[in-house]
Structure formats: C-alpha cells, structure tokens
Amino acid sequence: MKRPGIRSRLCGLLALTLTALAGCGTGGDSAASARTVTYWLWDANQMPAYAACAKDFEKANPGLDVQISQMGWDDYWTKLTASFIAGTQPDVFTNHVQKFPQFADLEVLAPLDELAATKGIRDDAYQPGLAGIWKGPDGHRYGAPKDWDTVALFFNQKMVREAGLTAKDLDGLSWNPKDGGSFEKAIARLTVDAKGRRGDEKGFDKNNVKVYGLATNGAGDADGQTTWSPFTGSAGWHYTGNKPWGSRYHYDSGTFQSVIEWYFGLAEKGYLPPFTVYSESNGPETQLGSGKAATALHGSWMAQTIYGFKDVQVGTVRTPEGPTGKRATMMNGLADSITKNARNKAGAAKWVAYLASAECQRTVGRYGIVFPATPSGTEAAVAAYEKDGIDTSAFTRPVADKTTFSFPITSYAADVYALMRPAMQDIYTNGAPVSGLDETNSQINFLLSQ
C-alpha cells in the first residue's frame, strides 16, 4: 500500500505551510496518561451523542477515560495530517472514505483485525456495503462502521402547491439527458422570474430570476455528491466502475459527459442558479430556507437543519428515476479508525469496538442527527426523526431498494479533487465543452498509474 516518497513529500509540504511543526518526527508524548483515549471528530452536532457513549463506556471500563476533540471540517483534516507528521496524532479518529486511501498509503492506520478488541467486527452486523469499504487492498480492516448518509430532494411545500404540484408528483419524477424529462419540466415550473412568470411560461426572463427551481451546491468537483451524482448514478455511470478500490476514473465517458452537459445546462436555461450564487454561507440549504430556491438536493445529515427552518415548511422525496429505469443516490459511510502509533492502542481498540457496537449506535441514533451503521441504530434514528416530525423514508428507502452507489475510493484523492474542481467550475461558469474532461481524466489516470 505504501508509495515511495509520499511521506517525505508530505512532510516537506507541511514544513512550508504549518510553521508550528518543528520537524517530521514520529515521537509521542511520553507524559500522556495510559488511562486516556483521545478521539477526534468534526461534527459538532454529534458531540452530545458521543459524549453519552463515552460516559457509558467509561462506566463499563473504569480504568479508561475518553477525551473527545471536535473541530471544523477543513481544520480537522489539516490538523490530522499534521499530527501524523508531528507524532501528536489521536488514538482514534472519525475517518472518511475519500481520505482513507491517503492514510492507508501513508501506513498510519492500525489494522483492526489484528487487535483483540476489534478483530471480531463482522460485515453482516451493519447495513449492507458499509463494512467492506474499510478493507484495504491488503485485506485488512482499517475502519469500524459508524454511520451513513444518502441524498434526497428537499422542497418548499408552499412553492410546490403554488406551482400546481404535489409531493407525490415530485416523488414520481424521471429525467433523461436529452430533454430532462418530467424532472426538468417540474424544475422549470417551480422557477419564477422577477415579474412572476414561470420557467415554462411564455416571456420567462432567465436573466432576472426570483426563485430558482433547483438550488445549487457549486460545481460538484470530483464527486458531485449533492449536485450531479444522483443523475450520473441513475444513468448507469460510476466514477471507477463501482469497484471497492478503483484504479481508473471514467470522467471521459460519453454517459458522464452527456449528464454533466444537461445538468449545467439547467443554469443556462435559468432553472439552476449561476455558479456565483453558491458560497460556504449560501449553500443549497440557505437558498431553500431563504426562498431563493424551491427545491434542493442535499444529504440526510442536513435534515434537522432544513426541517428546522421557522418560516418554511419543507418535505423530502427520493431522487428522480433515470434513463436506466432506476433511481440512484450516493451512500457515504463513515468509520472510526485507530492510528498506528496510538499511545493507548489497547484502550483505543476497546473504544472503537464500543463505538461500533449496537449499544452505542442505538444511543447515537436516539439523538436523531445521523443514521448509525447498525440496523438497530438506524431504527433508533428513524424513530427520533419521526418524533421531530421528519419523514426519513426518502433517505432510507434507497438502502432497502438497493439503489445506492459508493463514494469513489482511490489513492491520490486530494489530487483528483484538485484536478477536477477547476475543470467542473469551468463548465459551470464559462460553458466550457464537456469534452475537455477527456484530458483531465487522462491526467488523473496517469497519476494513479504511478
């Protein structure tokens, strides 16, 4: 799994950008307490749930204390990468499939199947497909399934009614890359210009839109999780051929490029906001909540936030059916990993085993923030959402119907992102031809072949 020179290059890069690092040593803090298990995560909303799990864990393991640290998404990965170089890494951290190959290549993860407390983790204890993605090419398991998410279409109930549509109508939509199908017709109907004319009415002014039919979440970069991925997925395309660990990308596929051309063509027609509308502070949830968009593709992790809008009643439906006759949504699964040089590896393994247990995942599920990886944890989450008046079937049904697809898992994920991001933004912003993705795809696959 290790690629020659990766660690030295990474060390050199961090030496330039992270001045707080004194060097690239691997030494640890000898004063660290053998009682403490350090645990890092990025989602502040989940802190209370995992604090509750930690409390129960400590009661059952009186010799161990769990110290939880939370930081924002961007800071999280920067600090985590730096910690591996400086030797200040946590014992356990929340891992993401997009980041997993990088850490596997750097050989900074501990194989869970070689530790007494975690070697009994079984694939069939979790929702289908969640456990297998955390096994590396060497066959070892490097992550214990934690939770999962899918994507659905959120909508403003009032705007849908005013357009003469219903939730049932939205849930029955289909699309194709030639004319957009009933999905594009609905999005056009929901779009309203400054003079009150709808996108499907004569005189509609695409340059002066008051309400867009579909919110934007940017160009989608390399994965398009909450932008174009439900469409490429339902067209039968996958980033790397849907292999657990991919070695070649397929952004040069005619299928992929036809979908991308159609999707960003919605902006040219005035149904999707221009690229300049999106920002970190003006994501699809904000556009929907402020009344600037009638619908928004977004993940289940945003359900509590979006349903919490005071002035907007929202609903959710499944992603539309594609030209394959099926629907599709990315199913992203997170996991907890143990660092190779963890100071308290035995305690870390016990903590990860508990995090992966049905007991802890039911506790997390009762907070109604995410869908835990175990079936009973998922059931607890569904019940918690229902108490808050949130119907989660648009997120859970694709799992039961087996219409989900995996996040791409390859080496050099950050480089793939760096290459695809400007290419996709150029298509969205400047109307660049999708055929330009052929060259980008060649660059990516050349990188992966090294």
Give the start-to-end residue ranges of the domains of the chain.
6-149+333-393, 151-330+409-448
Architecture of domain 6-149+333-393: 3-Layer(aba) Sandwich (3.40)
Q: Which pLDDT score is estimated for 27?
A: 37
- Mean pLDDT in the chain? 92
Q: Which pLDDT score is estimated for 74?
A: 87
Q: Which pLDDT score is estimated for 5?
A: 35
Cα angle: 114, vertex 41, 296; to 5 degrees: 120
Name the residue with tokens 């990886």: 373
Cβ-based burial of 63 (10 A; exposed 0-12, middle 13-18, buried ≥19): exposed
Q: How far apart are the first and last CA of the chain?
A: 13
Q: Which pLDDT score is estimated for 423?
A: 98
Q: Which pLDDT score is estimated for 267?
A: 98
Q: What is the CATH number of domain 151-330+409-448?
A: 3.40.190.10
**CATH topology of 6-149+333-393 equal to that of 151-330+409-448?**
yes
Rounded average pLDDT per 10-residue block, the chain, 450 residues: 36 37 37 81 96 98 97 94 95 95 93 97 95 92 97 98 98 98 98 98 98 98 98 97 87 98 98 96 97 98 95 97 98 96 97 98 97 98 97 97 94 94 98 98 95
Q: Which pLDDT score is estimated for 302?
A: 95
Per-residue DSSP letters for 365-409? HTT-SSEESSHHHHHHHHHHHHHTT---HHHHHHHHHT-EEEPP-
* Chain segment 205-256, per-residue pLDDT in tens: 999 999 999 999 999 999 999 999 999 999 999 999 977 788 999 999 999 9
Q: Which pLDDT score is estimated for 33?
A: 63
Q: Which pLDDT score is estimated for 204?
A: 98
